[in-house]
Each structure stands twice: as C-alpha cells, then as structure tokens.
A = this chain, B = another copy of it.
C-alpha cells in the first residue's frame, strides 16, 4: 500500500525533474522517502532529525527548505503555519485538510469530513481553478473546557470570600 504511494509520488518527482531539466539528486529522493514514511504533521526540524538518525542521510537546512518548497509546489507536501510553528505533511492523494485547533492549549487534531469536502467542491469561485483546501476550525477542546469551568468556579469562590 505504502510502497504504491511512494512509487506514485516518485514518479511525479521524476517526471517534473526530467521535464524541467533538473537533477535527480539523492537528497531529493531520500527526503521524499523520509516524508512519505512519516505519518501526520512534522516540522522541518523533526524531518532534519529523522534524516540524520533514521536514514543516516544528513542534509543542510537550506536544502531542506529548497526541497520542501519544491514538493510544496508539486503538491506532494502541504504546509500549515500553526501558532508558533510551521508544520508539513505528506499530501499526495489528499489535498484536503480539516483541522480542529484548540485556542486555549493549541492542540491540533486532523479530522475527515466528506461533507466539507463536498461543500468546498460545490463552492462557486469565479475564474479560479480549485486544487485543494485547508480548513481550520477554532474552538475549545473538552479538556480546556473543563479546566475553564474549574477556574471560573475558583474565581467566583475567591470573590465571594473577598466580599465577605
């Protein structure tokens, strides 16, 4: 399964590099492999780490940025600029991303929603060819909700004792 996907994205990369007379460097293919053997989000730093330790293939930061930007334009990876940190993820076969983000603790959860996929699909944009989308739903997760109610309770008790 996974191999099939890797083969497919490698073919896309092959094709692009050949078409544009760019070089098939080991860096590009190793980075692509490393990305597609990762599940979920990762930071540039984490990818760098992984390449060094797991793949025994250290590359420079500049190369990582270059290569990620290349993959970004080929839509082989997606980039999300979250609060404080930029994260990437493999996104071949899946250009649609829904995330729920807790505005209290910053926790990010990826969710699937065929309804949203459909709604964006049907969304009418004038003179614009849609390729994919990212949806961020902001709110408060259950953990933070309980935390908030607890804190409020404490505060009101404190206020009560102050006025007594």
Contact = CB atoms under 8 A, between A and B. Distances in A.
Interface residues of A, number: 34
Contact of A131 (B111, B135, B138): B138
A116 to B, nearest CB: 6
Given A81-B81, A128-B141, A133-B135, A116 B111 contact: no
A1 interface: no
Copy total for this chain:
2
Interface of A: 73, 81, 95, 98, 100, 102-103, 111, 113, 115-116, 118-120, 122-123, 125, 127-142, 145
A138 B73 CA distance: 11
B129 A139 contact: yes
Main secondary structure of the interface of A (DSSP, over half): strand
A6 to B, nearest CB: 23
Given A103-B73, A120-B116, A111 B125 contact: yes
